[in-house]
Amino acid sequence: MKPLSLEHYDVLLFDLDDTLFGHSEAYEEGVYDTLQHFPELKELDPIIFYKTFLKHNHLLWSKFSSKELNFHEFSLKRLDNTLKEFNISVEEEVSDAIVKVFQCSYLNRIHPNKELNDFLLKVSWSVGVGIVTNGTAYNAYEKVHRLELSTIFPESSIIISEKVGFSKPDTEIFQHTLNAFESSPGRTLFIGDNYYTDIVGAKSLGLDTLWINKFGYECPQERPDFTLKCLLEMKELILKV
């Protein structure tokens, strides 16, 4: 793999979930923990419930992205649709409580990585950095705070789909980001774990891309410029220059 020279870029843009922290692990553990808090849910198979929950999260995401549902409505509908598959019906106040416990449990599993934070700080001394994430403003800012990355990524450098009105991989959110950072596609590197929303989305506007391919998946289409298994491997890639 070719070395990565920061001199080639004005801005490095990072996805948030599963790029800057282990979102999937925190999400899964949050679901498992939530099941144990409610008598109606304790006897459910946690693995099957988790997979069903993810399915309905995916199926409803476009309605949240298009603002047909706000995040609270989306969260309640996601839960309701999941519970229906298990023939479970709960009162509205119980649904609210389940949603709140899950959100709290998920966020409480987000912790800083000192080695990664030190690396990102050093990178920010050489090049502009930002975050582009799908989701809500509250969650994005809270995650960055819990990761202790707020000094590296102030709110002005965090581009959030809820605020922009478009979600990755829509070219609109990438164009908005380039405008916000006053950067050209050829001088911008996008780093993310999701091949379709991050890599394909960024490539559609001509950005260079770095794919965090943790599980060694085959590249489905156009190859990213760089591929690593974890973000910290960037240290060695940069040091090769």
- Residues 35, 97, single domain; the answer is yes
- Residues 184, 151, single domain; the answer is yes
- Lowest average pLDDT, out of 5-9, 68-72, 74-78, 215-219, goes to 215-219
Per-residue pLDDT, 162: 92
- Pick from 55, 81, 107: which residue ends a domain? 107
Q: Would residue 144 count as lying in a domain?
A: yes
Q: Would residue 124 count as lying in a domain?
A: yes
- Residues 135, 224, single domain; the answer is yes
For residue 83, pLDDT over 70 is answered with: yes
What is the mean predicted confidence (pLDDT) over 73-94? 96
Mean pLDDT of the chain, nearest integer: 95
- Residues 59, 125, single domain; the answer is no
Q: Would residue 95 count as lying in a domain?
A: yes
For residue 145, pLDDT over 60 is answered with: yes
What is the mean predicted confidence (pLDDT) over 191-205? 96
What is the mean predicted confidence (pLDDT) over 4-9? 93
- Residues 128, 233, single domain; the answer is yes
Burial-class residue 39 by CB neighbours within 10 Å (0-12, 13-18, 19+): exposed
- Pick from 55, 75, 107: which residue ends a domain? 107
Per-residue pLDDT, 129: 98
For residue 179, pLDDT over 60 is answered with: yes
Q: Would residue 71 count as lying in a domain?
A: yes
CB-CB neighbours of 60 under 10 Å: 18
Number of structural domains the chain divides into: 2
- Residues 194, 223, single domain; the answer is yes
Q: Would residue 118 count as lying in a domain?
A: yes
Beta bridge partners of 226: 210
Per-residue pLDDT, 81: 97
Strands annotated E in 109-230: 128-133, 158-160, 188-192, 208-212, 226-228
For residue 239, pLDDT over 70 is answered with: no
- Pick from 72, 107, 142: which residue ends a domain? 107
- Residues 117, 103, single domain; the answer is no
For residue 241, pLDDT over 60 is answered with: no
- Residues 152, 194, single domain; the answer is yes
- Residues 134, 40, single domain; the answer is no
Q: Would residue 1 count as lying in a domain?
A: no
What is the mean predicted confidence (pLDDT) over 39-45? 94
Rounded to the nearest 10 degrees, what angle do helices 23-35 and 92-107 cross at?
140
- For 71, the domain range is 24-107
CATH code, domain with 168: 3.40.50.1000
**pLDDT-derived band at 191, boundaries 50, 70, 90:** very high
- Residues 231, 151, single domain; the answer is yes
**pLDDT-derived band at 177, boundaries 50, 70, 90:** very high
Give the Cα-Cα-Cα angle 176, 72, 97 (nearest 5 degrees).
145
What is the mean predicted confidence (pLDDT) over 208-226? 91
Q: Would residue 121 count as lying in a domain?
A: yes
- Residues 179, 100, single domain; the answer is no
**pLDDT-derived band at 1, boundaries 50, 70, 90:** low
